[in-house]
Amino acid sequence: MLETPWRNQALWQLRERYVPRGVAQAHPIFVARAKGVRLWDVDGREYLDFAGGIGVMNVGHGHPRVLQAVRAQLEHFTHTCFQVTPYEAYVRLAERLAQVSPGAFPKKAIFLTTGAEAVENAVKVARAYTGRPAVVALTHSFHGRTLLGMSLTGKASYYKQNFGPFAPEVYHAPAPYPYRGVSDGLAVEGLEELFRTQVDPERVAALILEPILGEGGFIPLSPAYLKEVRRITEAHGILLVADEIQSGFGRTGRMWAIEHSGVVPDLLTFAKSVAAGLPLSGVVGRAEVMDAPMPGGLGGTYAGNPLACAAGLAVLDVFAEEGLLDRAEVLAKVLWDGLLRFQERFLQVGEVRGLGPMVALELVRDRKSKEPAPELAQAVLEAARDRGLILLKAGMYGNVLRILVPLVASLEEAQEGLRRMEEALEASL
């Protein structure tokens, strides 16, 4: 512990001296503790957390049920490696995720450590099952920071920099973005053009998409678009992979965002809120597809860590016992009402969009030109922090303010956060 009344400043100096600049921070504050929807920094200041660790804390910080489960597992063992000596929590969690994931068919699940690992393993499984090499992703997408994750990500700035060459046999089709003129129809035409000009669909193993683009700016893919993509993939024997790493575990008011469309993917990747902050990710999907890799083809030393699996089981219990999906819908109404009010009041709020409580607003210089206003988004983010509210940016232009408040937030906490956000908009415009 540093003996100074200004520990944030002192720790920031250490960060600049010993941590590479490539590890960026949205906020120059160091957290000392967290509970529910609230954070306290090392200088004792309290914040409402509307970022949730980038959508990780859907059940809130320090949920008692999760802490109890982790403490109990800690008393038994912390690691054996599931591929060496397996343990019950892993198979119980796989069973429960198979039960709550879309599709009325036999399913299996594998656990990993990070979201990027989940994406890479979904691609491995798809290639093993189909015997095909190519993968299609969407523009504006984000699928991780590993080589294949970056290759799949449809956003060059920030993430790709000069890190290439990237993985081969990865192609990008346009994502719908109605606010900026890319309709569902144009996006589908773009996918079909991709198949005509760049890659034969009979060589494509999988098409991976986020049902609501996360880093891309909280752009929901419409049910009509998703159904058409599902039709096209089925016609060509292409597996559909739903990347639910940010949008899963109730973030949109359903367990999985793709459930809003009625479309059933072949594989689904998850991470973030599955274990309430402990590193856990995975892939769940059709049993015959998941069984395609031979023994030894899947796994990882820390994959499916027993502490994280115990937390994952507790998270599912919390969802069931506390009715978090119902609470998410109530929370969504409060958030949408607030943001739509901001749109009426502030001309720089170009669009409010999202699904359920996964909602954001896009800031522009004026509504006619729709010119992105990233500097305004940054100003609002900083002004909100000054008022005790933690927000995050997103979007291709860095001009989208997104809300990922824990689903356990009370209506009073949600309304207070919106009040602080409105004050930040007032101060920045």
- Enumerate the CATH 3.40.640.10 domain ranges in the chain, comma separated: 66-322
The DSSP H or E segment spanning 3 is: none
* Cα 243–chain centre separation: 8
pLDDT of residue 2: 43
pLDDT of residue 69: 98
Is residue 223 within 8 Å of 184, Cβ to Cβ? no
Read off the pLDDT of residues 27-40 as tens digits, 9 standing for 90 and up: 999 999 999 999 99
Q: Can you tell me the distance from the alpha carbon of 384 to that of 391, in angstroms, rounded to the nearest whole number? A: 7
Which strand ranges, in their side-by-side order, compose the sheet holding 134-138? 107-112, 281-286, 267-270, 239-243, 204-209, 134-138, 170-173
Mean pLDDT over residues 350-360, rounded? 98
Read off the pLDDT of residues 206-219 as tens digits, 9 standing for 90 and up: 999 999 999 999 99
Show the beta-strand stretches assigned E in 36-183.
Answer: 38-41, 46-49, 107-112, 134-138, 170-173
pLDDT of residue 5: 53
Q: Can you tell me the distance from the alpha carbon of 189 to that of 185, in angstroms, rounded to the nearest whole number? A: 6
pLDDT of residue 164: 81
Bond from prior residue into 178 cis (ω within 30 degrees of 0): no
* Domain boundaries 7-62+323-428, CATH class: alpha beta
- CATH architecture classification, 66-322: 3-Layer(aba) Sandwich (3.40)
pTM for the complete prediction?
Answer: 0.96
- Enumerate the CATH 3.90.1150.10 domain ranges in the chain, comma separated: 7-62+323-428
Read off the pLDDT of residues 69-112 as tens digits, 9 standing for 90 and up: 999 999 999 999 999 999 999 999 999 999 999 999 999 999 99
Read off the pLDDT of residues 329-354 as tens digits, 9 standing for 90 and up: 999 999 999 999 999 999 999 999 99
Stated length of the chain? 429
Share of the chain above pLDDT 90, in %: 96
